[in-house]
Amino acid sequence: MSKHLNRQDKIRNFSIIAHIDHGKSTLADRLIQTTGLLTQREMKDQILDTMDLERERGITIKLQTTRLVYKAKDGEEYILNLIDTPGHVDFTYEVSRSLAACEGAVLVVDASQGVEAQTLANVHLADMQGLEIVPVLNKIDLPSARPDEIKHEIEEVIGILAEDAPLISAKDGLNIEDVLEAVVHKVPAPNGDEEGPLKALIFDSYYDSYRGAVAIVRIKEGQVKKGTKIMMMAAKKVFEVVEVGIFIPSAAPVEVLKAGDVGYITASIKNVIDCRVGDTITEAERPAPEPLPGYKKAQPMVYCGIYPAEGESYDVIRDALEKLQLNDAALTFEPETSVALGFGFRCGFLGLLHLEIIQQRLEREFDLDLIATSPSVIYRITKTDGEVVMVQNPTNLPDRQSILTMEEPIVDAHIFCPTEYVGNIMELCQNRRGVMLSMDYLDAKRVRLHYELPLNEVIYDFFDALKSKTRGYGSLDYEFKEYRESDLVKLDVLLNKDLIDAFSMIVHSSKAVSRGRVICEKLKEVIPRHQFAVPIQASIGSNIIARETISALRKDVLAKCYGGDISRKKKLLEKQKEGKKKMRQLGSVEVPQQAFLEVLKYDDSK
Amino acid sequence: MSLGLYVHIPFCRSKCYYCDFCSMPDLSRRVDYLDALEKEVQLHAARYGRLMPETIFIGGGTPTLLEDQDWHRLSRLFERFFDLSSLSEWSVEGNPESVNLALSKTLKSIGVNRFSMGVQSMDFSLLRAIGRIHSPEEVTTAFNALRQTGFDNINLDLMTGLPGQTLSAIDETLSWLKQFDPEHVSAYGLKIEEGTPFDRMERQGLLKLPEETLEREMDHRIREVLRERGYQHYEISNYAKPGRACRHNLNYWNCGSYAAIGLSAHGYLNGVRYENTSDLNRYIHDLSHETLPVISEEAISPQEDEKEWIMLRLRLSEGIPYSQYQARYGKSFLNEKKTAIEKLKGTGWIDLQKEHLRLTEAGLDFANAVIVEFFE
């Protein structure tokens, strides 16, 4: 036993948590570099964020994990497993699972900006997993850095000791070793029973076309090696292990993974659905009496239609969605048809960011041109004949006469923000039909608001509104609470008198008129003028509730075109042609793809 | 194939608010410029040989700011390095305030046979509103001087859609035009070009332009009146008495070749379009180092040529004669453009005839929309 403990004594499993932009990924890169895993030349900026999209948006979507070997000042060699976490509320569950794989978390705080909303939300998550939090002050090289004040702030606001927090500059590689030392000395070593029944937490998975679904795991108890018959406790599926290994940072096979280790397991698992984040892997022949706590099945909360843009193929989109789904068990899709847009797919997502990310990955990684329709939540409709139907596409809403009641999903939302923005937040939530349950002052400067919000109010632009109303300091966390009866109507949009089903949405009746008005205004801005006047109308049933008109185009001609103009004017017309190609013919009206995005934007000033 | 020669004179007394042509108010560089231009003509001839232009167009800027000896110098220069035996049209562009009898005589004496004058409007306050420095009276004086010298091929430029312009201002200008009775009229709708004073004013919300409907009415009024007076509306913005269409410009619209001399000038020779620098210092510097001041050259592929030809031909009242398309590209226009034609049929913008396709009266206002349909 003591021998085992000795082995685990040299292991530290930790994550890095931070407010966005406080330097999480840069620090991760430095840790990798300092422990000599990669040479300077091999370093790409921010190794752990593998997708271009992530690097661009500065957020981590898919987790990466890597094993560092560090020779500490005490002369001992330690194995440090760095587990990266995604950085968005849509992925709170994924964050909580990866934190559950750790014993500690390095909390990166910007030495000039101090503790911010997301810092608190992350600390809260880490706290719930009982992690040891190791504060680090980053960007110490900036002239505006004020380490002493920020240390004090960390102690005051978060309530952890920060006196000897390392002062670093991840960008310049300053004092990185202090962070490694702090991890070694402060993060507890794992102490799982290596001989007990296997308990491995899947905190991430990905699909490899040769090896099938790969589970990324933290072994909590027991051990696993090639040939072990394993069972997924929630999925209730049995597989035989083909390979186990570690990330250095690329996958490298090892003979065995034991309690305390972080690594991967492959077992010819054909489907990522059988390898869900949060599930516990145990031995089929000697199963653990109960799984590790906290498993939840990923449940789509938001749906939207995804259609090929002009000239794009339906089949290519299906192939792309299938490929993405291999890696993303939370993504669902099925074929659907729209009068306006033809054949497409109804896709389900964890939240709006997840939706945006999938959309952008389809566009970038697969080079597809798409149209996404208004996102929708799932409504529960009870018909007069007693039948209950779940509707996530407004077009499928039964007609009004046959509806007895409509219910919409309500979420429990926690918003963190500095006290000066409380008024703004309350106004925003009130506009979004929120009901305040409580308000807690975490200290003199920070507040946590607890609201009930209808999910269909959250999916329209709520994050952007929250950010703009709190100058970026507000953060949001929500989870599904219940279905609740609500006075909902279907809002339709007509272009030149034709109902465009792709714009239809379900809204609360109190919001219908203002929403209709905003949509008509936005469409008026983005739809170019035609040779005829184009009326834009919003309606509920046959009742027109808002209207705008795009005046007819009178002129589309270049005044002059002589020798010196020809090249330039030709390019101008080519551009016009390109723009036209991107238009979508809806009824008699040509609509730019941008229009589909514009109708999603909620204008909270109206 | 016909060949034109364009020569750019980049000086103006002051810059009009809408103008994005290459011009500058600093006349002190005139002689340096002409020295450089002379060098350019020499180098151009060394590269392309002794070209034989059928038309010359001296544009600007305000070429009429050149002095007597400058014109003689240009004339000698052209005679030395070009074969002028086929020259049938030599136009000079200018502004009313710098046209007088003496200049007119000089131009006539060196062989200039067409004059193009920037009138824009005969309304004094409108002229000021767009930054023009001449008065309506100066237009009359200049025009009379040209006629007196024997110029029988004169173009007057007009503009529509100017800030504060009304239909009655157009009518007034048109009635002045009746008295002048020029052989050619160009009427351009104002376009706000990037970087001009009007561009800045528009961004600041200081520019009150006529509504599009009114601007079109102005254009249509000019169209109607000039046709009544016997002008042929031979290009979107151009009107001419029979036989007086501008040959130099027709050559552009037929995708002909043209040599270019001077600051910012564009040429098209041997299937390559080239562009001179717009930077006067660089222009002078390059030429003093025996280098042509070309900043870009683009070989025009058959596909690009076809786009340009369609774009330019559709501006002409003749439109696209199928036989010419066939001769030029070796394929049938009607077959090739079937889809586009089908799409355009319902618009009322194209006049589909047995021998040619052209814009209808309504289509003239939507030329771009028609052209882009024909782009692949």
Highest mean pLDDT among A42-56, A260-274, A452-466, B236-250: B236-250
- B 5-34 residues inside an 8 A Cβ radius of A: 6
Total beta-carbon pairs less than 8 A apart between chain A and chain B: 88
Listed in sequence order, the residues at least 6 apart from A228 whose beta carbon sits closer than 8 Å to its beta carbon are A198, A240, A241, A283
Q: Do B375 and A567 touch (CB under 8 A)?
A: no
The average pLDDT across B265-294 equals 96
Question: With contacts defined as CB-CB under 8 Å, which chain B residues touch A558?
Answer: 191, 236, 367-368
Q: How confident is the model at residue A502 (pLDDT cuts 50, 70, 90)?
A: confident
B362 CB near a chain A CB, below 8 Å?
no
The average pLDDT across A20-33 equals 83
**A418 token code pair:** 């500095």
A558 CB near a chain B CB, below 8 Å?
yes
Q: How far is A249 from chain B (nearest CA, A)?
A: 49
pLDDT at A90: 62
What DSSP line would sit under A32-86, residue for residue? HHHTTSS-GGGPPSSTT--SHHHHHHT---S--EEEEEEE-TTS-EEEEEEE---
Q: Do B365 and A557 touch (CB under 8 A)?
A: yes
Q: How confident is the model at residue A40 (pLDDT cuts 50, 70, 90)?
A: very low
Identify the CA nearest to B209 among candidates A555, A579, A568: A555
Pick from B237, B267, B375: CB nearest A577: B375
Question: How big is the CA angle at B118 (ends B114 and B119), to the nearest 5 degrees?
Answer: 115
Question: With contacts defined as CB-CB under 8 Å, which chain B residues touch A580?
Answer: 372
Evaluate whether B114 touches B89 at the Cβ level (below 8 Å).
yes
Q: How confident is the model at residue A323 (pLDDT cuts 50, 70, 90)?
A: confident
Q: How confident is the model at residue B166 (pLDDT cuts 50, 70, 90)?
A: very high
Evaluate whether B236 touches B220 at the Cβ level (below 8 Å).
no
The average pLDDT across A25-53 equals 63
Statement: residue A57 has pLDDT above 80: no
Identify the CA nearest to B222 among candidates B188, B190, B250: B188
- Pick the residue from chain B with its C-alpha nearest to A579: B372
Q: How confident is the model at residue A28 (pLDDT cuts 50, 70, 90)?
A: confident
Evaluate whether A589 touches A496 at the Cβ level (below 8 Å).
yes
Cβ count within 10 A of residue A471: 12
Question: With contacts defined as CB-CB under 8 Å, which chain A residues touch B375?
Answer: 573-574, 577
DSSP single-letter state for residue B25: S
Calpha distance B167→B220 (Å, rounded):
10
What is the 3-class SS of A134-181, one letter each residue? EEEEECCCCCCCCHHHHHHHHHHHHCCCCCCCCECECCCCECHHHHHH
Calpha distance B15→B200 (Å, rounded):
15
Residue ranges per domain, chain B?
Answer: 3-252, 320-374
Calpha distance A201→B33 (Å, rounded):
80
ipTM value, please give it.
Answer: 0.93
Question: With contacts defined as CB-CB under 8 Å, which chain B residues touch A531?
Answer: 347, 366
CATH of B3-252, one of 3.20.20.70, 3.30.750.24, 3.40.50.1820, 3.40.605.10: 3.20.20.70
- A 574-603 residues inside an 8 A Cβ radius of B: 574, 576-577, 580
Statement: residue A535 has pLDDT above 90: yes
Q: Do B367 and A557 touch (CB under 8 A)?
A: yes
Among the listed ranges A40-44, A324-328, A589-593, A594-598, which one has the minimum average pLDDT value?
Answer: A40-44
Q: How far is A533 from chain B (nearest CA, A)?
A: 13
Q: How far is B308 from chain A (nearest CA, A)?
A: 7
Pick from B4, B268, B368: CB nearest A556: B368
pLDDT at A117: 65
Pick from B253, B368, B375: CB nearest A557: B368
* A475-485 and A403-418 strand pairing: antiparallel
Q: Do B308 and A570 touch (CB under 8 A)?
A: yes
Listed in sequence order, the residues at least 6 apart from A325 whose beta carbon sits closer than 8 Å to its beta carbon are A272, A331, A332, A333
Percent of chain B with pLDDT over 70: 100
- B 294-323 residues inside an 8 A Cβ radius of A: 298, 304, 307-308, 311-312, 315
Q: How confident is the model at residue A253 (pLDDT cuts 50, 70, 90)?
A: very high
Calpha distance A235→A297 (Å, rounded):
10
Calpha distance A410→B72 (Å, rounded):
87
Q: Which residue has the tokens 């840069």?
A: A26
Calpha distance A533→A531 (Å, rounded):
7
Statement: residue A219 has pLDDT above 80: yes
- Pick the residue from chain B with its C-alpha nearest to A562: B252
Query: Which of A557, A574, A585 to substitute to test the interface with B, most B CBs within 10 Å?
Result: A557
Condensed to tens digits (0 to 9), the pLDDT of residues B313-337 reads: 999 999 999 999 999 999 999 999 9
Listed in sequence order, the residues at least 6 apart from A2 whose beta carbon sits closer than 8 Å to its beta carbon are none
Q: How far is B150 from chain A (nearest CA, A)?
A: 27
Q: Do A558 and B191 touch (CB under 8 A)?
A: yes
